[in-house]
Every structure is written in structure tokens, then in C-alpha cells.
Structure 1
Amino acid sequence: MRDRVRGAVVAVSAVTALATGLAALTGCSSGGSGGSGGSGGGPPAALLALPADLDAEAVAGGKQPAFEPSEVHLAVGRTLGMDVRVAPLPHGWRLVEGGDTALLRRDADSKQSTCAPKTAGCGHTVRQSWTATAAGSTTLTWRYVDLATCTEPQNPASCRMLAGKEVRVTVG
């Protein structure tokens, strides 16, 4: 009986993790009554996460289809957060188009997780955030790039793109 209960708990945990991951990939956003969702430090009104490195490499290798764009709808004053995994790899996600600055104000990045010092191969998660400032539509674009191919180290657009992800933001 104990094994059945343990198996059920593992199955429920796996389903919960899968649902959370799917919500992040599809761009579901909350209409938000939980927290301010503004730039005052509360939780974002919409929170997404870029696909995992392994998923991006599968797209780059043609093993799965390209990432579909996500759609986010925000009210003026509400915040969008994008969690980006930063790992010491030869490939990584880089923001190449930050959207229309008349509609979205880029807020400071914040670390969501960290690694212990001198931990080999460990990465961390950074939350990039934008606050909606005016009505309209714009697109944020990230590229999963080969960092060894960059002709300009500070310009991700100069690197070979392996995969891409767009988030279409409508404010109003």
C-alpha cells in the first residue's frame, strides 16, 4: 500500500511540473489579482520562461519543431517577467529585440536562483522584466545562439542563431 501511495504522489508531482512547464511555454498570463504585478516589486502579472537548453538544442538539431510565439496581454502598469536560464555553455539565450520602448519599459533584471561559488557547470535563472506604459502591441525576441560564432561579443545578433522565441505583447 505504501508503494502505491508513494507512486501516486510521484505521479501527481510529475503532472504538476508538466502543467507548470506547459503554462510557461505557451505564454499563459494571469489577469492578476495576486499581487500588484507592477514595478513595485510584486509578482509579475505575466510570467514566462524560455525553453530549457536541451529543448533549444533539440530544435536546433531538427529533432522538434520551432518554438511557437507566445501571446501576453497586459494592462498599463502591469509587469511581464521572463525567466532566462544562464548556464556556462557554448550556447545560450540572448535578447535581441526588446520591443517598442514607447509601450514597454525595461526594468532591472533580478536573479531568481544562484549557484554556490566554484560549482562546475552550474547555471542560474535571471528574470528579465518589462512594465507596460502605454496601449499598443510589440514583440520581444530571444535567440538561442552559438556564442563561439559571435563576431561582436556584446551583440547577440552577430552570433549564429540555433533557435528563436518570440513573445507578442498587447497592452491595453
Structure 2
Amino acid sequence: MRGRTVPTAVAAALAVGLAALTGCSSDGTGGSGGGHPAALLALPADLDAEAVAGGKQPAFEPGEVRLAVGRTLGMDVRVAPLPHGWRLVDGGDTALLRRDADSKQSTCAPNTAGCGHTVRQSWTATAAGSTTLTWRYVDFATCTEPQNPASCRTLASKEVRVTVG
């Protein structure tokens, strides 16, 4: 009997530890909001996007993410003072994904030439279905409407299909 108790206790401790590492709660829904996202992605680096724009490498393959309702997707976007940069042009179906507030993940010292920072764009899944998020790597000098990235010349793009359910 005692030999069975120890392995059971060890298995229970491992299950609790695994749940803590993966961020899953006992009901399998995990957290949302201010905690760690269920899915975390990053847009390709500026140099990679410029290589795509210059025809030096193939276009970026679309990504795919699966989320449970209530879980969060985070996309890290590098923001640098360059003539080119990533901009969200399609935030997906708002009936399926709620756009949360952006949060800075890194910062630069004031007045640091050429320094950028990382911003995390986040969405929380609110209903079952599928939608696509689209970012474009644009040339800011070509924008006909400064606040509208769709009005700029696209150098590269990245799509992420989000399936909720």
C-alpha cells in the first residue's frame, strides 16, 4: 500500500508543477488579460522584412493560432525610427477577438539615436470561429494618409489565422 502512495503523490506534484509551467488552471481554461498570453508570436525582424521587400527571400508564410474562448493572443512588434515599419492593417473579426491595450515590452533611453522598442499587441478570444489578423511592412514616405497604413506602399506582409473554439 505504501509503495502506491508515493508514486501517486509524486504524480500529483508533477501535475501541479506542469499546470504552473503551462499557465493552465485546473479547469483547462487558463488565464487571460494582464497575465501571460496563451499564444505569443513576434513579427519578423525589420531586416528580414526588407529582404522580402527586396526579393532576397520568399514572402512570409501565414501563421496559425488556436485559442480557447477567454484566452489571449499576443503579437510582439518592434517599433523603430525607420522609414519602414510594421503596421496592423486588419485586426480581424471583432465578434471573435477583442483588441486589448498595447503594452511596451522594452524601452530605449531618451534621445537614443536609432533605438526602437517592442510593443505587444493583444487580443482576447470572445467567441468561436476563425478570423485573420494582417500586418504590413510599409514605406512611411509613401503614405497618402499618415494615420492609415493601408495608404502606404506595402513592402511585405504577415497574416495570422486565429481559430477560436
**SS of corresponding position for 1:113:** coil
Question: What SS does the corresponding residue of 2:64 show, helix, strand or coil?
Answer: strand
1:126 paired with 2:115, answer: no
After TM superposition, the score normalised by the length of structure 2 is: 0.83
Aligned position for 1:105: 98
Shift of the alpha carbon at 1:66?
0.2
Point out 4+ residue stretches in structure 1 off by more than 4 angstroms: none
Give the counterpart letter for 2:32 in structure 1. G
Residue 89 of structure 1 deviates from its aligned partner by 0.1
Q: How many residues align?
A: 140
Q: TM-score, normalised by structure 1?
A: 0.80
Note the residue ranges of structure 1 that are not aligned, 5 or more in a row: 1-31
Per-residue Cα deviation, 1:76-122 (whole angstroms, up to 9, x for no partner): 00000000000000000000000000000000000000000110000
State how far apart, in whole Å, the 1-side matches of 2:31 and 2:154 are: 32
- Please say if 1:79 is aligned against 2:68: no
Q: Radius of gyration: which is bigger?
A: 2
Name which of 25, 29, 33 aligns with 2:22: 33
Cα displacement (A) at 1:37: 3.9
**1:12 aligns to what?**
none
C-alpha distance in 2 between matches for 1:92 and 1:33: 32
Output the aligned Cα RMSD. Answer: 1.1
Residue 137 of structure 1: which of 118, 130, 139 is its match?
Answer: 130
5+ residue gaps, structure 2: 1-20, 25-29
Distance of 2:31 and 2:42 partners within structure 1? 17
2:49 is the counterpart of 1:56: yes
